[in-house]
Amino acid sequence: MTLRKGAPAGAIALLAALASAPAMAERSLTIGTIVPPSALDPHFHNTSNNNQALRQIFDSLVYFDNTGKLMPGLALSWRPVDELTWEIRLRPGVRFHDGTPFEAEDVAFTIARAPNVPNSPAAFTPYVRGIAAVEVVDPTTLRIRTRAPTPMMDWDLVFVMMLSRKIHGPEPTTADFTSGRLAVGTGPYRHVAFTPNERHEIARNPDYWGEAQPWDRVVTRYIPNPGARVATLLSGEVDLIDGVPYQDMPRLEADPAIAVSGSDSITSVYMFPDAMRDQTPHVTDRAGQPLPQNPLRDRRVRQALSLAVNRPAIVERLYQGQGRAADQFASPPALHRVPDLPPLAYDLARGRQLLAEAGYPTGFRLTIHGPNGFFSGDDNLLQAIAQGFTRIGVETQVQTMPPAPLFTRATNREFSLFMSYLSSDTAINYLRQVVMTRDPERGTGPFNRQRYANPAVDGPAGDALRTMDEPRRAALTEQASRALLDDMGVIPLIYLRYNWASWKDRVRYLPSHRGYTSAMWAVPAR
């Protein structure tokens, strides 16, 4: 500031005092989380770890709050005009981090780009494939025309993060996002730096359209080892961690300096058997010789394996009560799941009987695969499952690996039986994403890595996706879910509970039913 000649002495003294005062301290947050994003491209890989990182930088038209409620994002409102048209009213005055205005034409650009990202291991196709056209009515109004009735359009738009045709066009590459050059959104935080598998740094966006964020700087460190994650918290190197190991919960809850928060989740953990091929890898007879036919093709074998999983014991002993035993594929909070089902049975004798009926009275050998460092206790869960299989005569070995190579190999159909999870607020999305017949044109089955196909699932699930009448849609979804469970096309295991721990004097975390760890839900303690 420049003082005019003859300024009062008091003003000069005030300026001198301000100049000598320390600058306001920067408010920073350091997070320790399990899994790093595989890229910073918001349309490359539809996984929770990618989405939780990128939703801090990019916005969608509609978003979930951390309880699962649909909230206005870049769209102020949305409504179906008729069975083939949704009208969207956009939030005015929004700008990208570099100052570029967010415009209606950007929505059309984004929707065209989302299903066409090269080499995507888990595409966003299901959310946009049914869109036939995006028509700009005026600068803040657009209409989305669909090829068929699309009752879940508002839910689907949650998952499509918006780009700018001016910044990101015409053909952005995933490498350009991950380098940081195109990691430019409208979100509450700006990208600063990213070291793959190590750390991601973001900074508060001072021009954010929404509620101002409290953190000037956020550093996320990727610490897959659970013991190391807890040690890093207790040493004070990080303020907040996710994936609190279940065995450490009592100790951390008893520590007066540590705050622990948690939430039952929409995350369902399951085993995915290769039920379609005549021959499958990693299966032999008890002597190690190839079998003439893939035993997992037989429904009785899949049911026997399910009966060998002691889900209540896994939840109580392995997860210290932090979770729920599965009764179906869709998690308890999911819309239109089958109501009032009994728990999936644990019955070793019946499992052996089913194996014998299927032609395997002495069982066989099997190697199962799964992640190590994808969610808390994942490797131990796989070992518990293997022990149960072995008890009914299926001599089982376990191979674990980091998530990225696991899912690449699973997509290449290199496994007979592997473990994964899906998080969704709707039962129909569990079906559409994982078990409906894989069809890129229709946008079904992007996670159907075993190429499962069952007309009894596809028929009613496909009808549900086109039915605007909600009671009818619920009935069709339940019909497809029952058919999947009867066929044991996937073997449901448990529903996860997510837990976070933080220093009480630094940060309070608002738990997310999706399991997201985000600076947006971290509240300064003072």
Query: pLDDT digits over 228-237, tens only?
Result: 999 999 999 9
Least confident of 65-69, 234-238, 266-270, 474-478: 65-69
Q: Is the pLDDT of residue 123 over 90?
A: no
Q: Is the pLDDT of residue 8 over 80?
A: no
List of residues 6+ apart from 235 with CB closer than 8 A:
none
Q: Is the pLDDT of residue 17 over 70?
A: no
Which contiguous run of DSSP H or E holds residue 501? strand 491-503
Q: Is the pLDDT of residue 21 over 60?
A: no
- CB contact at 8 A, 202 and 191: yes
Mean pLDDT for 257-266 is 94
- pLDDT tens-digit map of 93-121: 999 999 999 999 999 999 999 999 999 98
Q: Is the pLDDT of residue 69 over 50?
A: yes
Bin 332: left if φ > 0, else alpha if -120 < ψ < 50, else beta.
alpha
The amino acid sitting at 213 is Q
With cut-offs at 50, 70 and 90, classify the pLDDT of residue 137.
very high
- The rounded distance, in Å, linking the Cα atoms of 160 and 42 is 8
Which contiguous run of DSSP H or E holds residue 369? strand 364-371
- The rounded distance, in Å, linking the Cα atoms of 200 and 202 is 7
Task: Provide the mean pLDDT of the chain.
Answer: 93
- The rounded distance, in Å, linking the Cα atoms of 421 and 495 is 9
Mean pLDDT for 161-182 is 97
With cut-offs at 50, 70 and 90, classify the pLDDT of residue 404.
confident
- pLDDT tens-digit map of 346-381: 999 999 999 999 999 999 999 999 999 899 899 999
- pLDDT tens-digit map of 410-437: 999 999 999 999 999 999 999 999 999 9
At the topology level, CATH places domain 28-222 in: D-Maltodextrin-Binding Protein; domain 2 (3.40.190)
pLDDT at 9: 39
Mean pLDDT for 338-344 is 95
Mean pLDDT for 182-203 is 98
How many of the other CB atoms lie within 10 Å of CB of 139?
A: 12
- pLDDT tens-digit map of 25-63: 789 999 999 999 999 999 999 999 999 999 999 999 999
With cut-offs at 50, 70 and 90, classify the pLDDT of residue 24.
low
- CB contact at 8 A, 508 and 290: no
Considering the chain, tell me which residue range(s) the CATH 3.40.190.10 domain(s) occupy.
Answer: 28-222
Q: Is the pLDDT of residue 338 over 70?
A: yes
Considering the chain, tell me which residue range(s) the CATH 3.10.105.10 domain(s) occupy.
Answer: 268-497
Three-class secondary structure of residue 15 per DSSP: helix
Task: For the chain, state the CA radius of gyration.
Answer: 25
Pick the CATH number of 268-497 from 2.60.40.1170, 3.40.1160.10, 3.20.20.70, 3.10.105.10: 3.10.105.10
Bin 216: left if φ > 0, else alpha if -120 < ψ < 50, else beta.
alpha
Q: Taking the model in full, what pTM does it have?
A: 0.86
- The rounded distance, in Å, linking the Cα atoms of 52 and 240 is 15
Q: Provide the percentage of residues in the chain whose pLDDT is more than 70.
A: 95
pLDDT at 22: 43
